[in-house]
Chain A
Amino acid sequence: MSLLSVQDVTFSYNASKRVLDGVSLTIEPGDSIGLVGESGSGKTTLLRLLLGLTRPSSGSITFNGTPLDPRSARFMRDYRRQVQVVFQDPYSSLDPRQAVLSIVSEPLRALRIPGDHRQMVSDALASVGLERNILGRYPHEFSGGQRQRIAIARAIVAGPSLLLADEAVSALDLSTRIRIVDLLKSLSEQMTLVFVSHDLGVVAALCQKIVILEKGRIVEAGATASILANPQHPYTQRLLSSVPRMPA
């Protein structure tokens, strides 16, 4: 059984324009999938649908064979435990008025997960390469890369099986980006990863599979290596040719 299945999903904010049009996608346990497309291609909307923050206009999304129903508190509690997200901007994704302990332990409190939350937060911080003695510090005391690590710690502290990352490295400088990509890569060996990005280079480094979105439609999908080596769709070819290269 697939972990997450998206079947013929459409979404529109108004009747005149569809943001997503007939999107179908299957995510198997252990996959690392890159959702790639330009701004406005619908990848963030698709992510919001996967998170249960918005409901599709038509089509269905199932998790472990059960339809995703944001109105069902019981289902969503289990779903939130299994599916977590890392956002693009580490400067706005952490509450500036909460200390690290409170930020990272939020899923544990909200989902009423039993156990020593302080210890679980310390372990999550250690697993993303942060020291354990930062629990009382506030987000403004950290650099962008460290904030993103804290956000990743929050996403993994409840032990999810699926991690969604929305442009999680695009707001970081190059050296920090490489370190966070390495961290996500190591996490992808322990859980399923869906990485939303417009950056083909990062997706190539991180994901085994790739899904190309253009104007709300999936135009190409498959193994990352084969698509990057032999892109079939003109849009994929354009995306590849637009990757910046060092001058000779």
Chain B
Amino acid sequence: MTTLDVISPKRRSHGSVTLWAGLALVGLHIAIGLLTLVWTPYDPTGMSGGRLEAPSWLHWAGTDRLGRDFLTQIMVGSRIALIVGTGAVAIGAALGVTLGILAAFASKLLDDALAATLDILIAFPTLLIAMLVVAASDTANLASAIIAIGIALSAIVARLTRILVKRVLLMDFITAARTSGSSWPAIVFGHVLPNIWPTLSVNFALQFGLAVIAEASLSYLGLGAPPPNASWGRLLQEAQGTVYTAPIGAIAPGIALVSLVIGINLLADGLRDSIDPTRRAR
């Protein structure tokens, strides 16, 4: 019997700083987003004080130029950002991963055609594609923004998926699975997707950040969430005229936006390390 002089398997690390920092930041936004479903400090669309009031005990982040509580709007903005990020990434992932896998399995001619199409789509900035899709729809609303951003992100996801799948398909363990009798769907779900997931998940997090920023940009341009939805982009746009007299109106949505994007990226890094068995034992 062979003695196993193996590397002793370490326990799954629960002490990953990045994982916990990401969880804290994203968890905070999720908690705030969920809280706004049942409670907000003030009515997000109604006047609750004077115009452009400075931060006070009554209004922690002050009020906007219509006298609405700014903190309330930032909180509602968290919910909108999470909905847009999740929805757009879900659409981008579903479309992109499916397209990427099909391209990787396709004949050379079809694969080349798909790869060229994806390259052309990626050459256009995400925001530009999203603007085109929104402009093509009749009205600017949250759903059209989510779909537009999702479609724009799918090209990036598809290209990455295609490259990753092609690399995995060359590995001996795929041939071993075939000679073991596994069907192609079983190989895709049992071997290919688990092996590309760590890289994809990090990419999805980056896409989530891009989606949140893209929605803020669309809303800033008036193509995203329409009023009275308190999107961070619209808050930034509204604060533009009063940035010197009431800078909190520009700073607060910016901080909220950055904290969510950083949180998602830290969470993705931490999750990748914890779900990847080869990293877990290092």
- B13 within 8 Å of A (CB atoms): no
Interface 9-residue window, one of B1-9, B90-98, B207-215, B227-235: B1-9
Whether A106 contacts B182 by the Cβ 8 Å rule is yes
Counting CB contacts under 8 A, is A129 at the interface?
yes
* Contacting residues of chain A (143-160) with chain B, CB-CB under 8 angstroms: 143, 145-146, 149, 151, 154
Inter-chain contacts of A149 with B (CB < 8 A):
2
Q: Contacting chain A: which of B45-53, B65-73, B139-147, B170-178?
A: B170-178
* Closest chain A residue, CB of each to CB of B182: A110
How far is the CB of A126 from the nearest CB of chain B, in Å? 8
- Considering the chains assembled together, what is the distance between the CA atoms of A90 and B10 in angstroms? 23
Question: Which B residues are CB-close (under 8 A) to A111?
Answer: 180-181
Q: Does A189 contact B (CB under 8 A)?
A: no
By the criterion CB–CB under 8 Å, are A140 and B181 in contact? no
A225 on the interface (CB 8 Å rule)?
no
Partner of B186, one of A96, A99, A110, A137: A110
Residue among B4, B180, B194 making CB contact with A154, cutoff 8 Å: B180
Query: B3 to chain A: closest CB distance in Å?
Result: 8
Closest chain-A Cβ to B281's Cβ sits at a distance in Å of 6
Proximity bits, B157-194, A CB within 8 Å = 1, else 0: 00000000000000111011111111100100011001
A92-118 Cβ-contact flags toward B at 8 Å (1 or 0): 111111110000001101110000000
Q: Which residue of A lies closest to B178 (CB)?
A: A53
Task: Tell yes or no: B226 within 8 A of A by CB.
Answer: no
Given A110-B186, A143-B5, A95 contacting B180 (CB threshold 8 A): no
B247 at the A interface (CB under 8 A): no
- By a CB distance below 8 angstroms, the chain B residues around A154 are 176, 180
- A109, A141, A143: the one contacting B9 at CB < 8 Å is A141
Q: Is A138 an interface residue (CB 8 A)?
A: yes
Asked if B241 is at the interface (CB within 8 A of a chain A CB), the reply is no
Contact A89 B181 (CB under 8 A): no
Contact of A129 (CB < 8 Å), options: B1, B175, B178, B186? B1
Does residue B195 face the partner (Cβ distance < 8 Å to A)?
yes
Is A51 engaged at the interface, CB distance under 8 Å to the other chain? yes
Contact B195 A97 (CB under 8 A): yes
In the assembled complex, A197 has its CB within 8 A of some CB on chain B: no
> B87 to nearest A CB, angstroms?
29
Judge if B277 is at the interface, Cβ distance under 8 Å. Answer: yes
Q: A51-B179, A76-B181, A80-B180 are in contact. Are A130 and B173 (CB under 8 A)?
A: no
Are A96 and B177 in contact (CB-based, < 8 A)?
Answer: no
CB distance from A105 to the nearest CB of B (A): 10
Contact B183 A110 (CB under 8 A): yes
B245 at the interface (CB under 8 A from A): no
Closest CB-CB distance, B254 to chain A, in whole Å? 39
Min CB distance B167 to A, Å, is 11
Closest to B1 in A: A129
Alpha-carbon gap, A81 to B180, bound state (A): 8
In the bound complex, residues from chain B placing their C-beta under 8 Å from that of A94 are 173, 176
List 12 additional contacts besides A92-B172, A141-B7; criterion CB under 8 Å: A53-B175, A80-B181, A84-B180, A93-B173, A95-B194, A96-B277, A106-B190, A129-B1, A131-B2, A134-B4, A141-B9, A149-B2
Sampled A-B contacts (12; CB under 8 Å): A51-B179, A80-B179, A92-B171, A93-B172, A95-B173, A95-B194, A96-B278, A106-B182, A131-B2, A146-B4, A154-B176, A154-B180
Closest 6 CB pairs of A and B: A110-B181, A80-B181, A93-B172, A107-B180, A110-B182, A92-B172
Residue numbers of A with Cβ under 8 A of B are: 51, 53, 76-77, 80-81, 83-85, 87-89, 92-99, 106-107, 109-111, 126, 129-131, 134, 137-138, 140-143, 145-146, 149, 151, 154
Give residues in B with beta carbon < 8 Å to A. Answer: 1-2, 4-7, 9, 171-173, 175-183, 186, 190-191, 194-195, 276-278, 281
